[in-house]
Amino acid sequence: MNASRNLPSLIAKATEKLRERCGDKAEFEARLLLGIVTGSDEAIYSHMSIQPTDQQIAQYDGLIIQRCAGKPISRIRGWREFWSLRFYLNSATLDPRPESELLIETAVSFAETQQLTQNPHFRVLDLGTGSGCLLLACLSELKHAKGVGIDINEQAVIQAQVNARSMNLEARSEFFVSDWFDGLGDKSFDLVLCNPPYISAEDEEILQDEVRLFDPKQALFSKNQGLADYEIIFSSLARYLNPDGIACIEIGYKQSEQVIELARGFNLKVRELLQDLQGIPRCLVLCY
């Protein structure tokens, strides 16, 4: 076999190139990138009977360069797994993070506890839907629920609609362009999900390249030390939340006290504050 096509050699060379960017994950990411160019969603291992073509090797070299420049694998292959579902991404959508799954766990637990999982009138709102990951993951668990996802960016809405179709959830979901609540009319919901922009512009330089260079700024940054969009959301939330409903809101690192104070300023009650797997307060559960 040509040495340039030898899998162990290819993977070893790619691993060394990726070491500075990826650290201990360098070899695994080298295997994933090789999977992308050879048509696999999984990592490629040295013992596999795969012989990359010259064209695939050239493509592999290009992907390694992209990854070394900070481009996440999810952006390279165009999708991210979230809640064991595949969400396709575009430049207008935030790359879903594992910690956001806490909102889904909380929402599904609420529906089960309130015996709402079989209720065909159960309605979910996803504010700033992006790829649609929060709403569609929730609807995948709550088989009778229907939901609305809104986003200020039309390209994000288009991507969410594509994801809904790929999961056969388009009949129970609706996505449209809206600046927060502006386009919702008199609709009300049993459950509101929201992962708003909450990073202060002053913190941009300390973000990882994968976030700073490749996630849409509109979905990341908020004025007033990252609190401006919480204030907008909380000022109108009660009008769109049914009396027995809850809102599951993602919050940033060290923001819990300020966000709770804002919520209470708009007469919202804190039902729970839940921590993610790293012990960081991440999901604020509100009612009124």
Is residue 210 helix, strand or coil? helix
Answer yes or no: do 145 and 241 share one domain: yes
Answer yes or no: do 131 and 109 share one domain: yes
Tens digits of residue pLDDT in 64-115: 999 999 999 999 999 999 999 999 999 999 999 999 999 999 999 999 988 8
Asked whether the beta carbons of 117 and 142 are under 8 A apart, the reply is yes
The H-or-E segment that residue 85 falls in is strand 85-88
Q: Which two tokens stand for residue 156?
A: 């994000």
Per-residue confidence (pLDDT) for residue 5, from 0 to 100: 65
Domain that holds residue 174: 82-287
Answer yes or no: do 60 and 195 share one domain: no
Answer yes or no: do 34 and 156 share one domain: no
Tell me the whole-structure pTM to 2 decimals: 0.93
Answer yes or no: do 184 and 134 share one domain: yes
Answer yes or no: do 62 and 89 share one domain: no
- Let me know if residue 77 belongs to a domain: no
Answer yes or no: do 225 and 250 share one domain: yes
Q: Tokens 């006290």 label which residue?
A: 257
Residues 247-257, mean pLDDT to the nearest whole number: 96
Domains identified in the chain, total number: 2
Q: Which of 162, 229, 106, 226 is nearest to 124 (CA)?
A: 106
Would you tell me how many other CB atoms lie within 10 Å of the CB of residue 3? 7
Answer yes or no: do 34 and 131 share one domain: no
Asked whether the beta carbons of 252 and 244 are under 8 A apart, the reply is no
Half-sphere CA count of 71, side-chain side, radius 13 A: 14
Answer yes or no: do 131 and 268 share one domain: yes
Q: What is the mean pLDDT of the chain?
A: 95
Q: Which of 238, 206, 240 is nearest to 221 (CA)?
A: 206
- DSSP3 helix / strand / coil % (the chain, rounded to 5): 45, 20, 35
Alpha-carbon distance of 30 to 280, in angstroms, equals: 31
Per-residue confidence (pLDDT) for residue 202, from 0 to 100: 93
Answer yes or no: do 191 and 231 share one domain: yes
Answer yes or no: do 102 and 12 share one domain: no
Answer yes or no: do 252 and 173 share one domain: yes
DSSP output for 120-184: TT-EEEEET-TTTHHHHHHHHHSTT-EEEEEES-HHHHHHHHHHHHHTT-GGGEEEEE-STTTT-
- Let me know if residue 264 belongs to a domain: yes
Is residue 96 helix, strand or coil? coil
Task: With a cut of 60, say whether residue 277 has pLDDT above it.
Answer: yes
Per-residue confidence (pLDDT) for residue 282, from 0 to 100: 97
- Let me know if residue 76 belongs to a domain: no
Give the burial class of 106: count Cβ atoms within 10 A of its Cβ; 0-12 exposed, 13-18 middle, 19 or more buried. buried
Distances (CA, A) of 179 to 101, 127, 188: 24, 9, 16
- Let me know if residue 39 belongs to a domain: yes
